[in-house]
Amino acid sequence: MYDALNSLASAIRARETGLSADRMWDASPVEVALSVLAAWKVMDGEVKRLTERAAVTAGSYGASYEQLGAVWGITRQGARKKWPDAVSRPASAKAGALALFGGTAELVQSSSGGWGWTGRGADGASGTVAERAPYATAEEAAAHAGAFLKEHALDSDDQP
């Protein structure tokens, strides 16, 4: 990789110093080392830009953050943080409904990928954790929604 990029770094160094290729190394060692570092910085920025473009392209074709992370050697959450706009999702996707203990709840996925729920217990109490969507999985949100529904169930003595 060094051989492939070194000629590019030399070209950038020559352009930025204004010296010809045969004279671009005629400087103090510090100046030469700093100009080489500056050339690598230019290439680093371009690689980051191209990497983001590749992630966004993969996401536009349906790749998930889990897949992007696996390719890059990071977690799904790391990929979401690195390329927050790579995977497009609807603003809110419903994942399903729960009907437990006489109440109901809807699971929703936020645009950030987290999961939440909104529900109404059998006693008429409303609850929601949809806006913050703090749960990593639909199953975790369902468990919390189920606990809410159980807490707001009617006693069996109160049911007709």
Rounded Cα–Cα distance for residues 25 and 6 (Å): 14
Q: For 124-135, what is each residue's pLDDT tens digit?
A: 999 888 666 688
Q: List the helix and strand counts (H, then E) for the chain.
A: 5, 4
Architecture of domain 96-152: 2-Layer Sandwich (3.30)
- Letter for the amino acid at 145? A
Rounded Cα–Cα distance for residues 160 and 155 (Å): 10
Give the domain ranges of the chain.
1-82, 96-152
Split at pLDDT 50, 70, 90, the class of 12 is confident
State the distance between the two ends of the chain, measured CA to CA, in whole angstroms: 76
Q: For 39-62, what is each residue's pLDDT tens digit?
A: 889 889 999 999 999 999 998 888
Residue 117 has what DSSP assignment?
A: E
Is the pTM higher than 0.75? The answer reads no
Which residues are registered as beta bridge partners of 104? Answer: 99, 120
